[in-house]
Amino acid sequence: MNLNIAVIAGDGIGPEIVREARKVLDRVFARFGHTAVYTDVLMGGASIDACGVPLTDEAIETCRRSDAVLMGSIGGDPRTSPWYRLDPTLRPEAGLLKIRKALGLYANLRPAYLFQELAESCPLAAREGGRSFDLIIVRELTGGLYFGERWTKVIDGQRVACDTLTYSEGEIRRVMKTAFEIARKRQGRVCSVDKANVLDSSRLWRAVAEEVAAGYPDVSLSHMFVDNAAMQLVLNPEQFDVVVTENMFGDILSDEAAEITGSIGMLSSASLNETGFGLYEPAHGSAPDIAGKNVANPIATILSAAMMLRYSFGLQEEAEAIENAVRKTLSDGFRSHDLMPRGRDADLTGLTAQSCSEMGDRVAERI
**Site residues, ligand IPM (CB under 6 A):** 75, 93, 96, 251, 283
Residue closer to ligand IPM, measured from CB, 72 or 237: 72
**Among 146, 167, 216, 311, which one carries the catalytic annotation?**
146
Q: Find out whether 66 and 103 touch, Cβ atoms under 8 Å.
A: no
Residue, CB closest to ligand IPM: 93
* Cα–Cα distance measured from residue 358 to residue 90, given in angstroms and rounded to the nearest whole number: 35
**Which partner in Mg ion, ligand IPM, none is near 111 (CB below 5 to 8 A by kind)?**
none
Q: Does the annotation mark 251 as catalytic?
A: yes
Residue closer to ligand IPM, measured from CB, 28 or 302: 302
**Among 251, 280, 311, 338, which one carries the catalytic annotation?**
251
* Coil/strand/helix, residue 231: helix
**Which partner in Mg ion, ligand IPM, none is near 93 (CB below 5 to 8 A by kind)?**
ligand IPM
Q: Does the annotation mark 67 as catalytic?
A: no
* Amino acid (1-letter code) at residue 22: R
Q: How many CA atoms lie within 13 A of 60 on its CB side?
A: 16
Residue closer to Mg ion, measured from CB, 251 or 318: 251
* Cα–Cα distance measured from residue 174 to residue 178, given in angstroms and rounded to the nearest whole number: 6
CB of 146 to ligand IPM, least distance (A): 7
CB of 316 to Mg ion, least distance (A): 28
**Which partner in Mg ion, ligand IPM, none is near 11 (CB below 5 to 8 A by kind)?**
none
Q: Does the annotation mark 227 as catalytic?
A: yes
Q: Find out whether 257 and 193 touch, Cβ atoms under 8 Å.
A: no
CB of 281 to Mg ion, least distance (A): 10
Residues 239-258 that bind Mg ion (CB under 5 A): 251
CB of 221 to ligand IPM, least distance (A): 25
Q: Find out whether 73 and 18 touch, Cβ atoms under 8 Å.
A: no
Residue 188 CA from chain centroid, whole number? 22
* Cα–Cα distance measured from residue 42 to residue 191, given in angstroms and rounded to the nearest whole number: 37
Residue closer to ligand IPM, measured from CB, 141 or 242: 141
* Amino acid (1-letter code) at residue 262: G
**Among 26, 67, 163, 255, which one carries the catalytic annotation?**
255
How does DSSP classify residue 254?
A: H
* Strands 189-194 and 242-245, sheet pairing: parallel
CB of 128 to Mg ion, least distance (A): 28
Instruction: For residue 259, state whether it binds Mg ion (rule: CB under 5 A).
Output: no
* Cα–Cα distance measured from residue 367 to residue 360, given in angstroms and rounded to the nearest whole number: 11
**Which partner in ligand IPM, Mg ion, none is near 96 (CB below 5 to 8 A by kind)?**
ligand IPM
Long-range contacts of 48-51 (CB under 8 A, 24+ apart): 48/83, 48/86, 48/90, 48/92
- Which residues make Cβ contacts (< 8 Å) with residue 129, sequence separation at least 6? none
Q: Does the annotation mark 194 as catalytic?
A: no
Instruction: For residue 140, state whether it binds Mg ion (rule: CB under 5 A).
Output: no
* Strands 150-155 and 158-163, sheet pairing: antiparallel
**Among 57, 227, 293, 332, which one carries the catalytic annotation?**
227
Residue closer to ligand IPM, measured from CB, 268 or 354: 268
Q: Find out whether 288 and 296 touch, Cβ atoms under 8 Å.
A: no
**Among 195, 280, 311, 338, which one carries the catalytic annotation?**
195
* Cα–Cα distance measured from residue 346 to residue 53, given in angstroms and rounded to the nearest whole number: 45
Residue closer to ligand IPM, measured from CB, 53 or 96: 96
Residue 59 CA from chain centroid, whole number? 21
Summarize as ranges the residues that interact with Mg ion (CB under 5 A): 251
Catalytic residues: 146, 195, 227, 251, 255
